[in-house]
Chain A
Amino acid sequence: MLAFIWLIPLLPLLGFIINGLGQRSFSKSFIGILASGAVFASFILSVAVFSDVWSARQAGEEAVFTQEIFEWFAVGDLQVSLTFLVDPLSSIMLLIITGIGFLIHLYAIGYMKHDAGFGKFFAYLNLFIFFMLLLVLGSNYLVLFIGWEGVGLCSYLLIGFWYTNPRYASAAKKAFVMNRIGDLGFLLALFFIFGTFGTLEYAGIFSAAKDFPMGDITLLTITLLLFIAATGKSAQIPLFTWLPDAMAGPTPVSALIHAATMVTAGIYLIARSNILFTLSPITLQLITIIGLATALLGAIIALTQTDIKKVLAYSTVSQLGYMFVGLGVGAFTGAFFHVITHAFFKALLFLGAGSVIHAMSDEQDMRKMGALKKSLPITFSTMLIGTIAIAGIPPFSGFFSKDEILAYAYAAHPIYWVLGFLAALCTAFYMFRLIFLTFYGSFRGTASQQEHLHESPASMTIPLIILAILAMVGGFLNVPEALGGGHALANFLAPIFADSAAIKAAPTIAHSTEYLLMGVSVVGALVMAGYAYFLFVKKADIPSEERSGMAKLSYHKFYIDELYDWLLVNPLKWSSQVFYTVVERLGIDGLVNGIGRGIGGAGRTVRLLQSGYITFYLFMMVLGVILLFVYGLVSI
């Protein structure tokens, strides 16, 4: 099936073109079937491609397949071709994107049923899938960059999908601008890479990079710039504030783009370039610190949010922080494993939240929910599974991926583990808080909302159920040796990370230590879940508007938006005001208008010479002739 790689991104693109052109004339069912069908066909092909890669890996090969579509351009030494690369890393990404993408398309058919922009929505979703596939399939950094920019564009379009609301439109702009900052880093990294290696192809770069010394300054620059790019796309400190605002988009968008796929592009980028990063220990150190800080910050902010989607958004920021910690401490497989499991359970949680919002007639405030367990049984049970998975309670998926990262973090430095563990405690607490506030206690909404309560249609619950199953069993992809597993995923991905592993061997952790770490984190998660139960079910302590101290700080997101406003936005506005009034109005306008006014004024003065008396004109003429004579005489 490897000959059909090119069809995988092409099908969603065709879906985009057809739906985009016919969004007004096609019926909703046709649009839904076409869009989902295109992604489903891509998924089937991806499965076939994956099985080829899998069997090649089982046979002990490296399983790297390329397919050149066409040469894009050749300028001097720079030759860029549109080539697709399928290897273990990209084949897994293919499965995630098309698989979860299909489920979310299916879900969106039900969720967006009453929306006027139905056709436009599916066209954008298909376009997003196309660009995301381009991003992971490209065999060089330039194709990756196109996909990178493309998903950013789709993210902008879909966050601002309900663009008539100015708040949503400005959230879209914020996401776009924040991402541009990161993209600048990416672009500079591309220039550095080409300047250093003379090519943009992965194969050429990585084989040349192997011979660089540890801590090479060029590699350090490149990796730092790539990391800036990743902080933008994957919402890390300091560029994370766009992601919570991005929840302005429809819920399927939050699930697909801002939880499962696009935001993991930064992790994909670093995992792909792992050899460059392994040779730059300073960057890795920075990634670990930023990742930990983001994980903690996101988790602490999520503790007090009352908007159900905001909780999940900050949870995503926090989980992405975990993945970066994994990358930073060299647990590339662990980080990527977390990408996979996170895609399962976070997509599930977002879709579940969407189902709740749908049932509550677009109410997102958890303080106005409660007792939905009876009315939404499928949503409740699937979301509970997602919550258990993300909280890291075995045997659900989050436990395995999170503990692999935490184990590596412990090996790097115990303090990393402590901080990661604290973030995990917060995670368990805010997730169970979400569950208890939403599904337990007494109903706190209006009477009309209560009348309207209904379980979502099948097209929404089926994806929930499938994702719940994946969230349950996804962890068994990579069971650690300490629990008698075979590290299946790690073995599958081994060729990707082989060069890095050769330079920096994986830390060996005694099984007893690993058991201890796992035990502590599981007990911690259970205790936090119990505490949340005590607080929100037993005491029915519904968060009020009155907050003090830490809670207030956390509820207001540590005033980071305000800080950025104060630090960057307002000075920019102020200086542009200065530039407008001083430079633009006085300087440039003054100069241009001054010239015009000067000429006009001179004309008004000089025209007074035109008195109309011919004798005066004659006199001036004679005077002129005399002056010319005098000038002629003098100049001789």
Chain B
Amino acid sequence: MENIVQNLQTVPLNHYILFSTLIFSIGVIGVLIRRNMIIMMMSIELMLNAVNLLLAAFSVHHGDSSGQVFVFFIMALAAAEVAVGLAIIIMVYRNTKSVDIDALNKLRW
């Protein structure tokens, strides 16, 4: 365990940034191109966690723990968001018998 932590600390910050960007981009692209609402929710979670990872990495890099406090807040927020989001999806499914995002095309003038 000690070993893992020390090894992690040797990973340069650039790698964290690149990795987070990659995950974030995957999340964004997932939201944009997928039409299944559940998968879109998962992509959003990906984005959130990419940010969490980045926050933790910077927190360690700067030796400031407030970044990690933020991560916990975001996790709590994400849990709440998922709860509401899934509830909405269930309601949509009950009404349209589909979880396709294009089922919600009434959101216009």
B-binding residues in A (CB < 8 A): 607, 610-615, 617-619, 622
Contact = CB atoms under 8 A, between A and B. Distances in A.
A485 B101 CA distance: 118
A617 to B, nearest CB: 8
Contacts of A610: 107-109
B106 A612 contact: yes
B99 interface: no
Contacts of A607: 109
5 contacts: A610-B107, A610-B109, A613-B105, A615-B32, A615-B101
B109 to A, nearest CB: 5
A612 B32 contact: no
B109 A615 contact: no
B91 to A, nearest CB: 15
Contact of A618 (B31, B102, B106): B31
Interface in B22-68: 28, 31-32, 35
Interface hub of B102, B105, B108 (most chain A Cβ within 10 A): B108
Contacts of B105: 611-614
A613 B28 contact: no
Nearest to A612: B108
Nearest to A617: B107
Given A619-B32, A622-B32, A614 B101 contact: yes
B75 to A, nearest CB: 22
B104 interface: yes
Nearest to B29: A622
Interface hub of A607, A610, A612, A622 (most chain B Cβ within 10 A): A612
Interface residues on B, range: 10 to 19
A13 to B, nearest CB: 68
A614 B32 contact: no
Q: Give the dominant DSSP class at B's interface.
A: loop
Interface hub of B28, B35, B102, B109 (most chain A Cβ within 10 A): B109
A446 to B, nearest CB: 78
Contacts of A615: 32, 35, 101-102
A622 B28 contact: yes
Contacts, number: 28
Contact of B107 (A614, A619, A622): A614
Contacts of A617: 107
Given A619-B32, A622-B32, A613 B102 contact: yes
A625 to B, nearest CB: 9
Given A614-B107, A617-B107, 14 more contacts: A610-B107, A610-B108, A610-B109, A611-B108, A612-B105, A612-B106, A612-B107, A612-B108, A613-B102, A614-B101, A614-B104, A614-B105, A615-B32, A622-B28
B108 A618 contact: no
A609 to B, nearest CB: 9
Interface string B70-84: 000000000000000
A433 B107 CA distance: 93
Nearest to A610: B108
Contacts of A619: 32
A618 B32 CA distance: 7
A612 B107 CA distance: 5
Nearest to B28: A622
Contacts of A613: 102, 105
A611 B104 CA distance: 11
A617 B109 CA distance: 13
A239 B18 CA distance: 94
6 closest A-B pairs by beta carbon, nearest first, are A612-B108, A612-B105, A610-B108, A607-B109, A610-B109, A614-B101
Contacts of B104: 614
A615 B31 CA distance: 8
Interface hub of A611, A615, A622 (most chain B Cβ within 10 A): A615
Contacts of B109: 607, 610
A171 B108 CA distance: 64
Nearest to A613: B105
A481 to B, nearest CB: 100
A539 to B, nearest CB: 92
A607 B109 CA distance: 7
Nearest to B102: A613
A607 B108 CA distance: 8
Nearest to B103: A614
Contacts of B35: 615
Contacts of B28: 622
Contacts of B108: 610-612
A215 to B, nearest CB: 80
A612 B109 CA distance: 8
B19 to A, nearest CB: 19
A610 B109 CA distance: 7
A310 B109 CA distance: 73
A23 to B, nearest CB: 63
Contacts of B106: 612
Contacts of A612: 105-108
B48 to A, nearest CB: 15
A607 B101 CA distance: 21
Interface string B11-23: 0000000000000
A612 to B, nearest CB: 4
